[in-house]
Amino acid sequence: MTNDEIRDFIQQAIDENPVMLFMKGTPDQPACGFSARTSAVLNMMNVRYAALDILPDPRIRQELSGLSNWPTIPQLFIDGKLVGGHDIVMEMYDDGSLAEALGVEQPEEEPEPPAAESPQSGPIGLENRLN
């Protein structure tokens, strides 16, 4: 894929999914603590969302940051608009504005990140140990 095709794919994912999370790893196997906690919050709120692992190709992160003007991962989009990264998501969770933005009830308990599992190899057989 060219950089333009990657950027178009990212923009299409944002446009087509009411809740879109770009993260390191997947919701089932997050590859960093910030991504783990962000997906755990969404899971706890029983929100349907799409997620894209940015690790398989460094151009995904580059093109995503170019589109969003946001340098860090994870990045959460709701209704096509960037909400922010982990810190903002957690602040919004704490004050109830995340539940409001998602149109769901605020959970009563704190989110727990999933238990760490052994890393899985990526689609091209690399194991990312930079985190």
Domain spans of the chain, in order of start: 3-102
pLDDT of residue 94: 93
What are 53-85's pLDDT values in tens digits?
A: 999 999 999 999 999 999 999 999 999 999 999
Fold of 3-102: Glutaredoxin (3.40.30)
Nearest to 79 by CA among 11, 12, 10, 20: 20
What are 26-59's pLDDT values in tens digits?
A: 999 999 999 999 999 999 999 999 999 999 999 9
Mean pLDDT within 114-122: 46
pLDDT of residue 129: 36
Would you state the torsion angle of the CA atoms of residues 115, 119, 120, 122, taken in this order, to the nearest 10 degrees? 120
Strand partners, 53: 23
How much of the chain, in percent, has pLDDT values that exceed 70? 82
Mean pLDDT within 112-125: 45
Q: Tokens 């057989």 — which residue?
A: 125
Average pLDDT, the chain: 86
Please answer whether residues 20 and 52 qualify as being in contact, where contact means their C-beta atoms are separated by less than 8 angstroms.
yes
The confidence band for 113, taking pLDDT boundaries of 50, 70 and 90, is low
pLDDT of residue 131: 38
Strand partners, 82: 77
